[in-house]
Structure 1
Amino acid sequence: MWPRIGELRALSLGTPGEMRARLNALVLAEVKAATAGLIGEYAEEGEELERAGERLALVDDHDALVGVVEVTGVEVVRFADVPWDFARAEGEGDRSIEEWRAGHATYWARVGTPVTDDTQVVCIRFRLVSTEGGTAT
């Protein structure tokens, strides 16, 4: 199971270190409003998919709370079918869906889970509702 902070499931973006710090900063700046995961990770961890309205604890490398996001939508699609509007909502600077796919394929291969066009991707959209220091705008 994934870590919990109180009753909230933790949302730990990317890999620890510089990547997680950069992604968290994008969320806190309200630039990043989506993230993608692999359906296989949920099965391995015995976790259910997020659901619209669920709040998640955005955490740093030490599982400390940095903010709270509210899930606004969840969709499971083939890697090849992830839409550009979703990729753009991830806010990571990709200039095309092809660039997004290449970057994500490289990332998942690097962390030990190569993907194909048919790999099932969990596309989660969210909005920032609060930061560690108070309420978001």
Structure 2
Amino acid sequence: MHKGADILSDSACHKSVQTICEDYFHHLNQPFQRLDSWHFCDNEKDANTCLSLVIAGIKKATSPSLWWYQANGFELPKVGDLNVVTDWQGVAHCIIKTVRVAVIPFEEIDADYALLEGEGDKSLEYWQRVHWDYYHRELKETEFQPEKSMPIICEEFEVVFRLGGK
């Protein structure tokens, strides 16, 4: 799955988000920056499972639809972006850095990319099934309807810091 619909505002963030940002930039000997924080998926079970896969080094990509970004007026991810990934409750666990972004039609996503997502049995068939269902939920409150040619943001990332500096 991919980023949850809620990118948390400063006032809604768990104190761990502030802490991980402070620790990360202190570790780099750079001035503090507040990073956006978010969780994967639209439900607690999947959000926390995806987070565990990221921490384990298995999940290295996420795939929101371009239409969801457009419908919500969010800026598209770009190489070099840093984000705090939280669990469903908003507790920070790691900072990721975007290393590649491509916009690819749903029907052109391949098995190599599905493997980078790291979910389920890691097959293309699994990726297509769970993401197709997700895009229906993601776009439900928008003017868009999922279709096989819809543009998907394929965002690859790496973990650059863990809570506690690990």
TM-score computed with the length of structure 2 as normaliser: 0.72
Could you say which residue in structure 2 is the equivalent of 1:51? 78
Could you say which residue in structure 1 is the equivalent of 2:158? 127
Residue range with higher mean Cα deviation, 92-101 or 27-36: 92-101
Percent identity reads: 25
Which residues of structure 1 form unaligned runs of 5+?
none
Cα distance between partner residues in 2 of 1:11 and 1:75: 20
| Contact kept? 2:68, 2:138, Cα under 8 Å | no
Which residues of structure 2 form unaligned runs of 5+?
1-5, 10-16, 18-32
- CA deviations on 1:66-110 (whole Å, 9 max, x unpaired) are 110010101111100112211110111335323321221122224
- Are 1:18 and 2:45 matched, yes or no? yes
Which of 118, 125, 128 does residue 98 from structure 1 map onto? 125
User: Higher strand fraction: Structure 1 or Structure 2?
Assistant: 1
Cα offset, 1:44, TM superposition: 2.3
Q: How many correspondences in the alignment?
A: 135
Which 4+ runs in 1 deviate beyond 6 A?
Answer: none
| Contact kept? 1:10, 1:57, Cα under 8 Å | yes
Question: How much is the aligned-residue C-alpha RMSD, in angstroms?
Answer: 2.0
Could you say which residue in structure 2 is the equivalent of 1:78? 105
Q: Which of the two has higher C-alpha Rg?
A: 2
User: Higher helix fraction: Structure 1 or Structure 2?
Assistant: 2
Cα distance between partner residues in 2 of 1:40 and 1:19: 22
Cα distance between partner residues in 2 of 1:120 and 1:109: 14
